[in-house]
Structures are given as C-alpha cells and as structure tokens.
C-alpha cells in the first residue's frame, strides 16, 4: 500500500475569511488540514482520513464525497472504517486540487 500525505495549509484561512464579522472561530481552525491518500490494489484509491477532514472543515461528509467524486469523474463509497474508497488511480495532487477548489467555493 502506498501512503501519501498532503497539507492544505491555507484552507483554514480561506474558511475563516468567509465567516460573518464577529463569528467565533474554533481554536483548531488555524491548524493545517492533512489528508491521507493510499492506493489499494491496482484499481482503487483510498482517502483514509476522509471523515476527520470533513469534521475539521465542519461539512457534511455526504456533500464533500459527492463533490469530490463528481470533480474526479468517478464513483466511490464509504467503507466500514469510514474511509472513502474511490474507483480508479489518482495522485495525491488531484485530491489537493479538488479540496482547494471546494474550500474556495
């Protein structure tokens, strides 16, 4: 299994900028978001800490998964360990690009 980690360092800053004036921000919002992507076999890619990332962004996991899968042009589902299993081989850079776009929108 190949394991890669990427950090969306400026993602929390972008989220905070879109909050209304005077809104309370959680103390963990200034930390960088790290995601872990691993290849499982030859035809699957696994986003191992998908649920943790959704919780850190305070977003519904179903919405994030639907956006991610639509942008990557593939299908996938959550497995028993709450990992997002995606059909196809994707580089970690593809996830970084899509997640940055999601945070910006």
Residues 12-59 have pLDDT tens digits of 555 556 666 555 555 444 445 678 999 999 999 999 999 999 998 899
Closest CA to 12 of 34, 30, 28: 30
Q: Which of 61, 57, 52 is nearest to 15 (CA)?
A: 57
pLDDT-based confidence at residue 104 (cuts at 50, 70, 90): confident
Per-residue pLDDT at 27: 47
* Domains assigned to the chain: 2-9+33-104 (3.30.70.3150)
DSSP alpha helix (H) spans, 1-105: 11-17, 50-57, 61-72, 92-104
């Amino acid at each position: 299994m190949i394991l890669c980690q990427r950090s969306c360092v400026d993602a929390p800053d972008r989220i905070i900028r879109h909050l209304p004036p005077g809104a309370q921000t959680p103390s963990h919002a200034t930390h960088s978001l790290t995601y872990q992507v691993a290849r499982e076999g030859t035809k699957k890619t696994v986003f191992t800490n998908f649920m943790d990332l959704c919780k850190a962004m305070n977003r519904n996991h179903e919405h994030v998964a639907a956006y991610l899968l639509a942008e990557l042009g593939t299908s996938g589902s959550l497995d028993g360990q709450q990992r997002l299993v995606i059909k196809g081989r994707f580089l970690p850079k593809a996830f970084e690009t899509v997640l940055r776009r999601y945070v910006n929108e």
